[in-house]
Structure 1
Amino acid sequence: MSIPETGATAVSATSTPKARRRGFSVFGVRVLAYQIILFVGFLALWEYAIRAQWLPVYLYGQPSGIWRELVKGVQSGALVHDTWITAQETIIGFIIGSVTGSIAGLGLWLSPTTAAILRPLMVALNGLPKIALAPLIVVWFGVGMESKVAIAAIITFIVAMLTSFAGSQEVDSDYIRMMKSLGASRLQTFRMVVVPGTVPWIASAFRLNIGFAMIGAVVGEYISAEAGLGHHVYYSGTLYNLNAVWGGIFALMILALILDAMVGWVERRMKWR
C-alpha cells in the first residue's frame, strides 16, 4: 500500500536548523569583514590625512602613534593594570546594581501601596542625570575603587528597578485574572506569572546596564582616581599626549565590546529564550 505524498512532509534543506545556523554564520562573517574593512579604512584615511598635513597631529593624534602608545602601555603593564581596574569596577557595580535593582522593581509589584508612595521618587530618579551624583559619591566613598563601584551600582540600580517595575506592570492581565480564578495567592501569582513575564525586560535592562556601569566607573575615575582607564585618559589629556588619550579610548571601546558580548552570551542562554 502506497503512502500518499502530502507536500507538507517535504522540508527544504535550507529550512533545517543546521542550514539556518550555517546561513547565519556566513552572514555574520560577511558583516564582520565589512566592519573590519570600514575600521581599517578609517584608520588609513586618518593616518594619510596626518602625513599629508591636512590635519594637525597635535589636535587629532595619529594612528601609528596611538599604536605605539598601546604597545608601550601593554609592555609596561600600565595599560593592562588600568584596564583591569576599570573592568573590575564595571563588573562589580553592574552585578550589584542590576541584581538589587531588578529585585526591588519586582518587589514593588507585591506592594501597590509602596509603589504608589514611591512613584514620584521613581519619576524624579528617571529624569535625573545619574552622573550628577558622581561627585557626591566620590566625596562619600573616597578616591579608591569603592566610589567607582558605588557610582556604577547606583546608576544600574535605578535603571534595573525602573525597567523591572515597568515590565511587571505590562504582564498580561488575563493571566493574572486566571490565577485569581484558580485560587492562587498574590505571592503564587508573582512567582508563576509576574516574574517569568518580566524576565525579558530584566534581560534588556542588563544589556543596557553594562554600558551604564562602565560610564559610571569611568566618570568616577575622571573625577578622582589613582588608576583606571578614565584616569589614564584624563591624565594623558593634561599632558596633551593625544595618542595616549586615544589609546585609552580604544582600550575602553574594546573592553565595552567584550563585556557586552559576555552579557549577550548569557542572555542568549537564558531558559526563557
Structure 2
Amino acid sequence: MRVLVAVKRVVDYAVKVRVRPDKTAVELQNVKMSMNPFCENAMEEAVRLKEAKLATEIVAVSVGPKQAQETLRTALAMGADRGVHIVTDMRADQELQPLAVAKLLRTVVDEVKPDLVLMGKQAIDGDNCQTGPMLAGLLGWPQATFAAKLEVADSKKEVTVERETDTGTQKLQMGLPAVVTADLRLNAPRYATLPNIMKAKKKPIATRDAAAAGVDLAPRNKVTNVTDPPPRAAGAVVESVDDLVAKLKADGLV
C-alpha cells in the first residue's frame, strides 16, 4: 500500500506573528518556518502504518517556494521514502488557496497512484480545513476528516476512522483509495533523529513547476487588509463576590 502525505510550510506555531507595515499580510521575512502541526500528525501516522507493515512506501508532497524543500526534508527524516515538490512563489497563506492546492495535489495523485492520502485537517496560517475535502471531491474518493484514530484492515482494502464531531466521536468505514485528514489527537509526532536527518539528505525529491501543471491557480478570495487584534483591556481587582457581580452587571456582562 502506497501512502501520499501532503505537508505544508507555515510560520512556526511558537512564533509571535507580526503584521507587515503596509497591512497587506503577515511578515514572512526572517521568520522561523516549520511543518504545519497537523501535517506532522499525518506524517507520523503514515510512518506508523509502514512500521506495522501495512504501508510499503510513503511519498511526501509539498506545494510552495523553494524553501519548502526544508519541510520535505523534515518529512523524509521522519520516515518518508521520497518527496515531490510543486514549486510556486505564490504566498501559501493568501494567494495559493485550497482549491488550487487540491488541483495540484490531484496531479500528484494521478502520477503516484497512492492507496491512501493523508494530510492535516487544516493549516495554521489559513485555517480553511478545505484542501482535503476538495481533493476527495476532485478524485471522487471517500473521505474522513478530523481523524482521531485510524485503522487499516489487514486486507488493505478498507480503513476505519474514528473522527471528532461537535457532539462526540463518529466511526467511519471506507474502501480504499481514500482521503483522510488528521487531527492533533491522532498521535504524537516523533522528533527526527540526527542519523535520519543525515539519511534524508540523500533521499530523492522530484520537482514540478506549478505553473506548468495546467491548473488554474487564480485565487478566489482577496485579502484586503490585515491588522493586529485589539489589545486586551486591563483586569480589575474586586474585594468580594458581591462586588464582582455588581461590576459584571454594570458592564452588561450578566
TM-score > 0.5 by shorter chain? no
Return the structure number with greater strand share. 2
The structure that has the greater radius of gyration is 1
Return the structure number with greater helix share. 1
TM value normalised by structure 1: 0.20
TM value normalised by structure 2: 0.21
